[in-house]
Amino acid sequence: MDSIIPGLIDDLGRECLIRVPFYELPTATSVCRNWKYEISVPEFIRHRKAAGVVRPIIVLAQAQYEGPIQNSESDPAVKEHPSRPTYQLSVAEPKAGVWAHLPPIPGHHEGLPMFCGLIGSGSDLVVVGGWDPVTWKASNDVFMYSFLYGGWRKGADMSGVRRSFFGCAASDDDRTVLVAGGHDEDKNALSSAMLYYVEEDKWVSLPDMCRPRDECKVVFHRGKFHVISGYPTDMQGCFQRSAEVFDWSTWQWGPVIEEFLEEGSSPGLCVAGPDGRMYSCIGRRSSDVAVYQGDKWQVVAEVPADVRSSQWLGSCGDKLVVIGSPKFGEAHSGYMLDLKNYKWTKLEMPTKFSRHVQCGFVLEL
């Protein structure tokens, strides 16, 4: 086999490859077979981490207004939505100040599925379910984008009923995704849950949760999946404060934690922090960042006033990142919170990346 880089021993060649910026990795894999092989093996990401060259990458589903959709006479399922926003995927490396858009999912030129699940697993982005942006019909589709190769592939369809507004999250290291709750096509809240094994492209059903949970939030925290809040069918929109935790060792759900959330808090703003603790935005208009200590939420910082509406909260490197707007419908901006001193710094966001954030996640590459 030829050397990785002519004139260099292979150890030095690998040291060069692991320092390629994430947005240039697809180009590097297309240079030659040797580079494609070196970048594709699991050790590549481990070597990047060991060398300290991995960077947190923010992936967002952001609105892009495209005007009204004309009603189709040939397909009665197509509806007219005069001010429908479409969504596309944005990626950012905050430290380098790099922002870009990912290519659309093949066959989905009308935009990203609305209300889809967006998860990072290894070096892959996983898109689960969501609504067709034209017909507004729920889908069980699964698509994966490889940040190493720069391309999409189709995964096995999500098993079971077509569900909407479910919660989902990925485990830290074994490339497993949990999908839980949501509602079916008759708007019945669901208590069912399932695991998706990304590398095996396989779905496995789990025991039902203790309660149905529509619009719940799933967080992977300290080795366990936490399903937070949601509501049953007969209490639509009345978010519960309880949570359930899935125990891998017993393959069962633990006892319901009845008062996990603060009164009036949004479950969508719960996130596992880089320091091993869980954080959320609580209070009126989610104006405070709080950490979960023992069985209570303790406020550690005040959220900047210009990001208190339509918020998204994520864990980015050793910081938290919050993106939002001053008021509904206005341009979005972002801030990073240093968890050592609880000081905010502005996140530089180009104007064309300042639209509404529907969901997002952070992975390290």
Over residues 204-233, the pLDDT tens digits come to 999 999 999 999 999 999 999 999 999 999
Q: Considering the entire predicted model, what is its pTM?
A: 0.91
Cα torsion angle, 114, 272, 345, 90, sign: negative
> How many CA atoms lie within 13 Å of 321's alpha carbon, on the beta-carbon side?
27
**With bands split at pLDDT 50, 70 and 90, how would you rate the model's confidence at 329?**
confident
Element (H, E) at 12: helix 10-17
Over residues 183-200, the pLDDT tens digits come to 999 999 999 999 999 999
* Percentage with pLDDT > 70 across the chain: 94
For residues 166, 301, 322, 189, the Cα torsion angle rounded to the nearest 10 degrees is: 10
- Give mean pLDDT, residues 125-135: 94
